[in-house]
Structure 1
Amino acid sequence: MSFQHPLRNSSVGVSLSSAPPEKIADDPWANKTPQSTVTCSYHAYVAGYWRAVTVFWCKNLMNHTLNLIINNLEGEACYNCKIDLKPWLFWSKKGGKSFELEGCQVDINWDFRSAKFSGSPEPASDYYVAIVSDEEVVLLLGDYKKKAYKRTKARPALVEAILYLKKENVFHRKTFSTRAKFDERKNEHDIIVESSTGGPRDPEMWISIDGIVVIHVMNLQWKFRGNQTVMLSRQPVQVFWDVHDWLFSTPGTGHGLFIFKPGFSRTRR
């Protein structure tokens, strides 16, 4: 399955038909090996300029890695920090790296020693990853914020990094769950997608947000592509899906695409 969560930046949503100002880095070393990935794209103030920073989590049978990719001003990847979350013996799950970006020192520190996971390659809690530039923590991941500031001895950024796109590719049979924000000022929402594509009954699909079924698609073999707008706390969210390959590909090989986009459709009058 592939799940995309374009996020709202202040009052401006990411359009399905237009790209963000910077190029979103491709998933590194993409191949046909079954793997689950989470890609988060940020705008962060690094080395004196706003830049695109891509956070790429990847897990398969052999490896579990994190890549932090920082773009130059032309929107091209200029630095990639790779961290092994499943390290070999004698390797530490706590560490740091430093590099120079256009004359400015940038530091990256992390601690995954107590990290907890819940099926996703991205940790659920008890960790931190901090990018430091000009003595400011310009991008902070995880919930160990106090430990991150103590380790880096840096102050919080005056303007926090902005998450503008989250994309997930996961391998699950019938159920997938994730969390996503549709407004930076509000809390995350729990999203669950369930499907029934086998057996004698017609295939169906359910999409739940915060424990409430907001979309129920019956006769999925005829409605494998579609979209619907749902309301979350008076906020409209467009939901798009394409599960053609779930139904018409070799079992276990088909992908599903889901996009959750804040705001009404542009065609709405």
Structure 2
Amino acid sequence: MIPACFSQPNTNTLSGTSQVPKNLVTCIYQIQLWDSPTYLTLTWSKTLFSHTLTVAIHAPHLFSITISLYPSTFSFFRNRPGSKSIHLTHHHPRRRIKLYWDFTRPTFAHNSAEPDSSFYIVISCNGRLEFFLGDLIDELAKRCSGLPVAPQVFPEPPLLSMREHVFGHKSYVSRARFLGSRHEIGIDCNGGVLKVKVDGRTSLVVKRLAWKFRGNERIYVDGIEVEFFWDVFNWVNNGDNANGHGVFIFQVGDGGVWPEMMGPEKRLMRKSLSSVAAGGGSTPMTSPSPSCSSVLQWAEESNDGGRSSCSSSTRSCGSNGGFSLLLYAWKKD
């Protein structure tokens, strides 16, 4: 059965196992809107029955829309380039935001929800190009002749932070860019031993996780100093609980920012919370998880003395190369 050929199940809940994401990536960029810096969040979510991109503007919150990337996987069904106009008449009179996108034939790395090439997503404000991501510059130039579209005119936007929810049993893989270079990050956890691999080479081994379920160490990626934080309390405490997840942070420079979770991310974390509650867990959980809260606060306090919170830091890190990769590693049978 081809899922795209039939009606999709309700995606507002994650009650069924088919709606648990195979991969979920949230990228936080710093952009300019009307000469004011703000945060743009792109959330790429892939499940068995859906593949979506949620675009949101923060600080102040202006809008959030979700774009379906299905059925681009199938050669006989093709997405068409799309656009969306947003008129901010209530709080921002005479200000207009327009989105353009093309996910007709995107290419993806293995199991990734975020495309590697053959796509674009664009944001313009009152006819001025403010954000461009992708590589189909010529196609965009033909479609939007009034926008100044050229690599030398509009550079790659600064990526401040990246959150990824990865799913596996003992091994988890992510791909991230550290100061311009793309690397494959591997996390292996087996027999009480944690291994961190970068591009297939082991960078760190942590033994006796029963006692060292939280910690941080310094590693180097192509000569770049990276602070690594881990928190596998859920795994050590819950054993083989399928809903348990480890939290890992790779931090370069001053680190990044962490706007609140929304859309597919929020639904996934709520599902985790409800599963723990249904199982009679005795640990009070007032945030997505106690593990998440502690390791994020720890990572940020190591850089700024605790001046920012784990969910709504407002530091500007795009100019000095600061970047953080946050991995939620979910155990699956």
Say whether the fold is shared (TM-score over 0.5).
yes
Which residues in structure 2 correspond to 1:196-207 (within 5 Å)? 196=190, 202-207=191-196
In structure 1, list runs of 5 or more residues that go unmatched. Answer: 1-27, 197-201
Are 1:211 and 2:200 matched, yes or no? yes
Which residues in structure 2 correspond to 1:213-252 (within 5 Å)? 213-249=202-238, 250-252=240-242
Equivalent residues of 2:166, 2:173 under 8 A apart: no
Aligned to 1:69: 56
Structure 1 residue 47: Cα displacement: 3.7
Structure 1 residue 58: Cα displacement: 1.6
In structure 2, list runs of 5 or more residues that go unmatched. Answer: 1-10, 255-301, 305-333
Are 1:180 and 2:176 matched, yes or no? yes
Equivalent residues of 1:235, 1:263 under 8 A apart: no
Structure 1 residue 68: Cα displacement: 0.7
- Relative to its length, the structure with more strand (as a share) is 1
**Any idea what the Cα deviations from partners look like across 1:139-170, whole Å, max 9, x if unmatched?**
22223233233333321465753221111112
Aligned to 2:184: 190
Equivalent residues of 2:57, 2:63 under 8 A apart: yes
Q: How many residues align?
A: 230
Which residues in structure 2 correspond to 1:89-238 (within 5 Å)? 92-101=79-88, 102=92, 103-117=94-108, 118-153=110-145, 154-156=147-149, 161-183=157-179, 186-196=180-190, 202-238=191-227
Are 1:37 and 2:24 matched, yes or no? yes
DSSP-derived class of the 2:143 partner: helix
Equivalent residues of 2:133, 2:157 under 8 A apart: no
Instruction: Give, as a single letter, the amino acid of the residue that structure 2 aligns with 1:149.
Output: A
Equivalent residues of 2:133, 2:156 under 8 A apart: no
DSSP-derived class of the 1:188 partner: strand
Over 3 Å counting, the alpha-carbon distance change for 1:216 and 1:143 in structure 2 is farther
**Any idea what the Cα deviations from partners look like across 1:201-233, whole Å, max 9, x if unmatched?**
x32221111232111122223222111101223
- Relative to its length, the structure with more helix (as a share) is 2
Higher relative contact order (Cα pairs below 8 Å, separated by 6+ residues): 1
* Identity percentage of aligned residues: 30
Equivalent residues of 1:65, 1:82 under 8 A apart: yes
Equivalent residues of 1:109, 1:152 under 8 A apart: no
DSSP-derived class of the 1:120 partner: coil
Equivalent residues of 2:103, 2:118 under 8 A apart: yes
Instruction: Give, as a single letter, the amino acid of the residue that structure 1 aligns with 2:248.
Output: F
Q: Distance in 1 between matches of 2:26 and 2:46?
A: 12
DSSP-derived class of the 2:112 partner: coil
Tell me the TM-score normalised to structure 2 length.
Answer: 0.61
Q: Distance in 1 between matches of 2:155 and 2:115?
A: 25
Q: Distance in 2 between matches of 1:62 and 1:47?
A: 38
Q: Distance in 1 between matches of 2:80 and 2:189?
A: 37
Are 1:258 and 2:248 matched, yes or no? yes
Structure 1 residue 91: Cα displacement: 8.0
Instruction: Give, as a single letter, the amino acid of the residue that structure 1 aligns with 2:158.
Output: I
